[in-house]
Amino acid sequence: MANKIPRVPVREQDPKVRATNFEEVCYGYNTEEATLEASRCLHCKNPRCVAACPVGIRIPDFIGALHAGEFRQAADIIAEDSSLPSICGRVCPQESQCEGSCILGIKGDPVAIGKLERFVGDWKLEHGASAAPQTAPRNGHKVAVIGSGPAGLACASDLAKMGYQVKIFEALHKVGGVLVYGIPEFRLPKERIVAREIAEVEKLGVEIETDVIVGRTVTIDSLLDEEGYAAVFIGSGAGLPRFMGIPGENLNGVVSANEFLTRANLMHAYDEQYDTPIYVGKRVVVVGGGNVAMDAVRTARRLGAEATIVYRRSEKELPARAEEVHHAKEEGICFRMLTNPTEVLGDERGWVRGMRCVEMELGEPDESGRRSPVVKAGSEFDIACDVAIMALGTSPNPLLAATTAGLETNRRGCITADERGATSREGVFAGGDAVTGAATVILAMGAGRTAARAIDEYIKKH
């Protein structure tokens, strides 16, 4: 299947300029560009793009409405399945989901579904949602949601639409989970996009209380037994960083990507008006190849460091979104593929001075299907650096499991839940990174929505 109209390119900030600022990299489509791109969709009878979308957005229908200039209708179609289109349009790994399955991608470029979703989402933020959000009358039942990331927000939105009185408890002082503390401003603007999309959720009647650590300030048991909540949804994410366990990881200048990005994003360390300390030195090495690694390395670059990615597999296996890898390269990030650290080297004052690494080659596929890296004999070498950032993945914080009777976790510390989000504890449901370990925004949203339906059924039965 081919299309005579080539994919409409999207305007972006010049790489040399943006490598020195934190403003958004991608400008998105204007109306003319979005309309032209929308005209490329073939409106397939069995749209593969919809089947590949974890929340099943009616993609050809919203694209059709956009093409007809019916932007509000397009927004309403997306809203049936997603409450965060401006966010998902910016951060979803479209190349392995909707766009990866678009029929036009077989012989050419797929429809730019993500950029079209972003256009519609931003249009809605600009022009306001439909008159009043459709919510059922209040049914008198209260549901507590733990965590205000995509899983918690999606679950809360759906329950509020069904008529439940929903309250989100968030440990941090800001709402949004990774969307505010992890993903940087240059990829996902906080005030212009995240805060406004969250405001749409609040318009549904969802109450949000920040600075409440469930497991400390209150417990799941007290919410259920004393505070009258009929059910609880856990969307507490996976915020606990992993380290490699190699010598030198306790040196000054070794930091987890989570801490580095939280300082930069949530605590505004990049902004001179804030006095949050952040140290990058002259040379930064980031270990890892996912979105977190890309965000950390590009943040370090913007803070003035020479920044390098060290990843033990090859470029083909990089788990980060293709767009982020492309942008990182344009911004002058150095990529050292098939390289693995064995030791962080320190100076006499206990600060990082370098990283000892070995070269790797790819062997047989492991259980994930990816070829496992094996050390090349005699390949040891050193890279000079002042800071080492570890972006090796995260796991859920054990606090909730430790403070909730009967809540089981698996060997990776993730909360055990069935496919509908029901945990081992009656009335307690869970979804998102807290269940799967670090994954994606849209999967977390999908899990939140599935759990909302299961919670509704559970409460109706009891």
Residue 438 interacts with ligand SF4 (CB under 6 A): yes or no = no
Residue 111 interacts with ligand SF4 (CB under 6 A): yes or no = yes
**C-alpha gyration radius of the chain:** 23
Residue 254 burial class via C-beta count within 10 angstroms: exposed 0-12, middle 13-18, buried 19 and up:
buried
Residue 103 interacts with ligand SF4 (CB under 6 A): yes or no = yes
Rounded Cα distance between 23 and 25, Å, is 6
Which residue of 55, 79, 112, 113 would you call a contact of ligand SF4, by CB under 6 A?
113
Residue 89 interacts with ligand SF4 (CB under 6 A): yes or no = no
Rounded Cα distance between 447 and 459, Å, is 18
Which residue of 41, 154, 284, 307 would you call a contact of ligand SF4, by CB under 6 A?
41
**What's the token pair of residue 234?**
């856990």
Q: Least CB distance from residue 90 to ligand FAD, whole Å?
A: 8
Query: At residue 170, what are phi and psi to the nearest 5 degrees?
Result: -120, 130
Sort strands 142-146 and 240-241 into parallel, antiparallel or unpaired.
unpaired
Binds 51: which of ligand SF4, ligand FAD, none (CB < 5-8 Å by kind): none
Residue 145 interacts with ligand SF4 (CB under 6 A): yes or no = no
Contacts (CB under 6 A) with ligand FAD, residues 173-212 = 177-178, 182-183, 212
The DSSP secondary structure of 74-87, one letter per residue, reads: HHHHHHTT-S-HHH
The DSSP secondary structure of 333-391, one letter per residue, reads: -EEE-SEEEEEEEE-TTSBEEEEEEEEEEEEEE-TTSSEEEEEPTT--EEEE-SEEEE-
Residue 399 interacts with ligand FAD (CB under 6 A): yes or no = yes
Residue whose structure tokens are 């007290």: 222
Contacts (CB under 6 A) with ligand FAD, residues 414-453 = 432-434, 438-442, 444
Q: Which is nearer to ligand FAD, 237 or 346 (CB)?
A: 237
Which residue of 54, 237, 253, 346 would you call a contact of ligand FAD, by CB under 6 A?
237
Q: Least CB distance from residue 213 to ligand FAD, whole Å?
A: 5
Residue 241 interacts with ligand FAD (CB under 6 A): yes or no = no
Contacts of 112 (CB under 8 A, 6+ apart): 7, 8, 10, 29, 37, 99
Which residue of 28, 235, 248, 319 would you call a contact of ligand FAD, by CB under 6 A?
235
Rounded Cα distance between 267 and 120, Å, is 30
Q: Which is nearer to ligand FAD, 248 or 288 (CB)?
A: 288
11 CB neighbour count, 10 Å cutoff: 10
Which residue of 9, 20, 23, 42 would you call a contact of ligand SF4, by CB under 6 A?
42
Residue 43 interacts with ligand SF4 (CB under 6 A): yes or no = yes
Give how far the C-alpha of residue 5 lies from the chain's centroid of Cα atoms, to the nearest Å.
32
Residue 8 interacts with ligand SF4 (CB under 6 A): yes or no = no
Residue 47 interacts with ligand SF4 (CB under 6 A): yes or no = yes
Which residue of 144, 214, 286, 328 would you call a contact of ligand FAD, by CB under 6 A?
214
Which DSSP helix (H) or strand (E) runs through 230?
Answer: strand 229-234
Rounded Cα distance between 229 and 34, Å, is 45
Which residue of 10, 25, 38, 49 would you call a contact of ligand SF4, by CB under 6 A?
49
Residue 444 interacts with ligand SF4 (CB under 6 A): yes or no = no
Query: At residue 388, what are phi and psi to the nearest 5 degrees?
Result: -120, 120
Q: How many of the chain's residues bind ligand FAD (CB under 6 A)?
A: 43
Contacts of 50 (CB under 8 A, 6+ apart): 56, 57, 58, 59, 60, 98
Which residue of 147, 288, 421, 446 would you call a contact of ligand FAD, by CB under 6 A?
147
Stretch that binds ligand SF4, among 35-43, 80-88, 260-268, 321-329 (CB under 6 A): 35-43
Q: Least CB distance from residue 78 to ligand SF4, whole Å?
A: 14
Binds 42: which of ligand SF4, ligand FAD, none (CB < 5-8 Å by kind): ligand SF4
Rounded Cα distance between 159 and 211, Å, is 23
Residues that bind ligand SF4 (CB under 6 A): 41-44, 47-49, 59-60, 102-104, 111, 113
Binding positions for ligand FAD, rule: CB under 6 A:
91-93, 146-152, 169-172, 177-178, 182-183, 212-215, 235-237, 239, 261, 291-292, 295, 321, 397, 399-400, 432-434, 438-442, 444
